[in-house]
Chains A and B, each alone.
Chain A
Amino acid sequence: MPGTEPPPGASPASTGTRPDAEAPALAVEGVGHRFGAARVLEDVSFAIYPGEFAVLLGLNGAGKTTMFSLVTRFYDNREGRIAIFGLDVRDNPSRALARIGVVFQQPAIDLDLSVIQNLRYHASLHGMDRRTARLRIESELARLGMLERAHEKVRQLSGGLRRRVEIARALVHEPRLLLLDEPTVGLDIESRQAIVSHVRALCDERGMAVLWATHLIDEVTPDDQVIVLHRGKVRAFGGCAEVVRDAGAANVGEAFARLTEGTRP
C-alpha cells in the first residue's frame, strides 16, 4: 500500500501527552462508532506508549470488542482517529497492521491443523520468508514451553494451551503492539496466571505495548495503565493509582464499581 510515514514524533496524541517526543504505540482520539441507530462507542480517547501494559476494563457490552475491531480495521473508524506508532490506520492500514499482533476474544485457530501449521500460515500472511518464519516460530514456541508439542493438532490441546498458541502466533511477526481481547475467558486459574505473567514479561523485556481487554479486576496490577470503558464511553483513563484516587476509592475494584454504577440501563 502506498503511503508515507510521518516523521517520528509527528501528530502526537492529544491525550496522555508525555514529556518525551516518543510517538504512542496506540493513539485513539475522539473515536465513535455506531451499528445502525445503536451507538456503541462515543468520543473514546486514550494513548498507550511502548513498554506500557494497559488494561481496557469494561463490563460485557461496554464496547471493548468494537474498539478492537476498529483498531484492527475489521470495521472502518468513521469518527475520530486511530494511529499506530503515528500511522493512521485509515491512511496506512498495511503498515499499521504490520506492527500489531492480535489475540481475539473468540478462539480463531484451525483445530485440524497442527500448532506449527497454524503458525506457518500466519507467518505467510505477513509475507515472512520460510527461514525467518521457522526461527521466529521456534523461538516463540520455546518461550511458551510448547516446542515439543509443535506437531500436535490443536484439537488435542487444552483451552489454556490453545490460548498460548494464539499468543505465540500473534508474536511471530514481532509486533510492537499486542492487542488481547479477554484472552483468559473460560480458562482455569492456573492457565490464566500463566498467560497473564507471560504477557507481562513480554511487555517488560521487549518494551512492547500491550492493550489487554478484560472485565476481571484481579488482572489489573498497580503499575498498569487503566482505561475504564462503560457503555461506549471512557469513564477514566490513567495510571492505576490515579484512577483509584480520582474515583475516591480504596482499590481498583471499588473504583471500577463506582465508575460503572448508576449508569446501567
Chain B
Amino acid sequence: MTPAQYLRCLEGIAWREALRFLHQRERFVAALVRPLVWLFIFAAGFRSVLGVSIIPPYETYVLYEVYITPGLIGMIQLFNGMQSSLAMVYDREMGSMKTLLVSPLPRWYLLVCKLLAGVLVSVFQVYAFLLIALLWEIEMPPVGYLAVLPALLLSGLMLGALGMLLSSAVRQLENFAGVMNFVIFPMFFASSTLYPLWKMKESSVLLYNICAFNPFTHAVELIRFALYGQLNVYSLVYVLGSTALFLGLAIYGYNPSKGLITRKAGAPA
C-alpha cells in the first residue's frame, strides 16, 4: 500500500461522512440549536446572577454569554463525537462497519480516518455556531477565529476517540442511550463550561478536583485560550495525553485478536 492509497482512503471516508451529513439536515440543525438555546436563553437569564471576575485569558470583565461560548463549542464537539460513535454502533449492527473493516488498509488507520471525518463535520458546525454568535455580538479577536482551528481539531479528536472507545465497548444501541446519559451530562456539567473552576472550588473542593480531572474541562480551556489567540500549555498537554489514551484503547477495542469485538457473540450463524 502506497501513501497515495492511504490518502485516497482518507478522502473516501471523509467524503462519505460529508455526504451523510448533507443528507441529515436535521442533525445539523439540532447540533446548532442545542448550544444556541444555552446561549440565548440560559446565558441571557444567568447573565445578572453570575458574575465572572477577570481570569485569563480575559483582560476585562466579560458577559456570561462570552464566558460560556467556548464551553458550548466543546458541547457541539462532545455531541458530535458521541453521535459519530453512535453511528458506529449502528453501522456495526447494520453491517456497514464490516464494509469498512474488510479494507486492506490497517485497521487503526481506518478508525483514525473515520475519526478525522467526524472531526471535520464538527469543525464545520462550530464555525456555523461562531457565525451566529457573532450576529449576537459575541465577538472574538480576529486571530482567535484562526487560532481556534487547531484546538478544535485536537479537542474533536479527543472527544471522537472517546466516543469510538465507547462504541467498541457497547454491544447494542439500547445500551448506548445509557452511555450518553452517563457520559455527556457528567462531562458537560462537571467542567469549566458553565462556571470557572475557582468558583467551583468555593463550593466544593472535591467537585473542583473532579472538574480539573475531567478531560472535557481541558478541551474547553484549550478552545477558550485559542479563541483569544493564546495557548494554554497545560490543557494542550492534557488533551494530547487523553487523546492518545482514548485512541489507543479504541484501536485496541477494534483489534480482532485482542479487542472486545471478538467477545461479542452476536448470533453466530
Main secondary structure, interface of B, reads helix
- Interface membership of B9, Cβ < 8 A: yes
Interface mask (B79-118 → A, CB under 8 Å = 1, otherwise 0): 0000000000000001110111111111000100000000
- Interface membership of B6, Cβ < 8 A: yes
User: Are B102 and A124 in contact, CB atoms less than 8 angstroms apart?
Assistant: no
Q: How far apart are the CA atoms of A207 and B269 in the complex, in Å?
A: 29
The interface stretch among A15-23, A67-75, A134-142 is A67-75
User: Chain B residue with minimal CB distance to A100?
Assistant: B102
User: Chain A residue with minimal CB distance to B255?
Assistant: A76
B90–chain A nearest beta-carbon distance, Å: 12
- Interface membership of A230, Cβ < 8 A: no
Given contacts A61-B269, A73-B256, A117-B19, contact A125 B100 (CB under 8 A): yes
A155–chain B nearest beta-carbon distance, Å: 11
- Interface membership of A38, Cβ < 8 A: yes
Given contacts A95-B104, A110-B16, A120-B12, contact A75 B98 (CB under 8 A): no
User: Are A104 and B98 in contact, CB atoms less than 8 angstroms apart?
Assistant: yes
Specify which chain B residues have a CB less than 8 angstroms from the CB of A94 in the assembled complex: 1, 104-106
User: Are B9 and A75 in contact, CB atoms less than 8 angstroms apart?
Assistant: no
- Interface membership of A102, Cβ < 8 A: yes
User: Are B269 and A124 in contact, CB atoms less than 8 angstroms apart?
Assistant: no
B80–chain A nearest beta-carbon distance, Å: 19
User: Are A76 and B1 in contact, CB atoms less than 8 angstroms apart?
Assistant: no
Residue from the set B2, B23, B102 with the largest chain A CB neighbour count within 10 Å: B102
Cβ-neighbour of A106 out of B4, B15, B95 (below 8 A): B95
Cβ-neighbour of A125 out of B4, B9, B262, B267 (below 8 A): B9
User: Are B269 and A127 in contact, CB atoms less than 8 angstroms apart?
Assistant: no
Q: How far apart are the CA atoms of A60 and B269 in the complex, in Å?
A: 6
A126–chain B nearest beta-carbon distance, Å: 6
User: Are B268 and A36 in contact, CB atoms less than 8 angstroms apart?
Assistant: no
- Interface membership of A105, Cβ < 8 A: yes
The A87-141 residues at the B interface (CB cut-off 8 A) are: 90, 93-98, 100, 102, 104-110, 112-113, 117, 120-129
The B233-269 residues at the A interface (CB cut-off 8 A) are: 256-258, 261-263, 265, 267-269
- Interface membership of A40, Cβ < 8 A: yes
Q: How far apart are the CA atoms of A54 and B262 in the complex, in Å?
A: 27
User: Are A75 and B2 in contact, CB atoms less than 8 angstroms apart?
Assistant: no
Specify which chain A residues have a CB less than 8 angstroms from the CB of B2 in the assembled complex: 127
User: Are A65 and B268 in contact, CB atoms less than 8 angstroms apart?
Assistant: yes
User: Are A35 and B98 in contact, CB atoms less than 8 angstroms apart?
Assistant: no
- Interface membership of A1, Cβ < 8 A: yes
- Interface membership of A160, Cβ < 8 A: no
Cβ-neighbour of B98 out of A63, A74, A110, A113 (below 8 A): A74
- Interface membership of B34, Cβ < 8 A: no
A77–chain B nearest beta-carbon distance, Å: 9
Q: How far apart are the CA atoms of A65 and B269 in the complex, in Å?
A: 5
Given contacts A35-B263, A124-B8, contact A104 B269 (CB under 8 A): no
Specify which chain B residues have a CB less than 8 angstroms from the CB of A109 in the assembled complex: 96, 99
User: Are B269 and A75 in contact, CB atoms less than 8 angstroms apart?
Assistant: no
Cβ-neighbour of B102 out of A40, A102, A107 (below 8 A): A102
B171–chain A nearest beta-carbon distance, Å: 13
Specify which chain B residues have a CB less than 8 angstroms from the CB of A97 in the assembled complex: 102-104
- Interface membership of A66, Cβ < 8 A: yes
- Interface membership of A64, Cβ < 8 A: yes
Q: How far apart are the CA atoms of A36 and B262 in the complex, in Å?
A: 10
User: Are B20 and A112 in contact, CB atoms less than 8 angstroms apart?
Assistant: yes
User: Chain A residue with minimal CB distance to B16?
Assistant: A121
User: Chain B residue with minimal CB distance to A1?
Assistant: B106
Q: How far apart are the CA atoms of A203 and B48 in the complex, in Å?
A: 75
Given contacts A108-B95, A110-B96, A112-B23, contact A63 B268 (CB under 8 A): yes
User: Are B269 and A105 in contact, CB atoms less than 8 angstroms apart?
Assistant: yes
- Interface membership of B11, Cβ < 8 A: yes
Specify which chain B residues have a CB less than 8 angstroms from the CB of A106 in the assembled complex: 94-95
User: Are A121 and B105 in contact, CB atoms less than 8 angstroms apart?
Assistant: no
Q: How far apart are the CA atoms of A194 and B2 in the complex, in Å?
A: 37
Q: How far apart are the CA atoms of A90 and B15 in the complex, in Å?
A: 30
A contact set with B: CB distance below 8 Å: 1, 35-36, 38, 40, 60-66, 72-76, 78, 90, 93-98, 100, 102, 104-110, 112-113, 117, 120-129
**Can you list 12 pairs linking A and B with CB atoms under 8 Å apart?**
A38-B268, A65-B267, A76-B256, A94-B104, A94-B106, A107-B95, A112-B20, A117-B19, A125-B99, A125-B105, A125-B110, A127-B4
A124-B8, A125-B103, A127-B105 known; 16 other A-B pairs, CB under 8 Å?
A36-B265, A66-B269, A72-B98, A73-B101, A75-B256, A76-B258, A94-B1, A94-B106, A104-B95, A104-B99, A106-B94, A108-B98, A109-B96, A117-B16, A121-B12, A123-B12
B contact set with A: CB distance below 8 Å: 1-2, 4-6, 8-9, 11-13, 15-16, 19-20, 23, 94-96, 98-106, 110, 256-258, 261-263, 265, 267-269
4 pairs of A and B residues whose beta carbons are closest in the complex? A124-B12, A127-B5, A108-B95, A76-B257
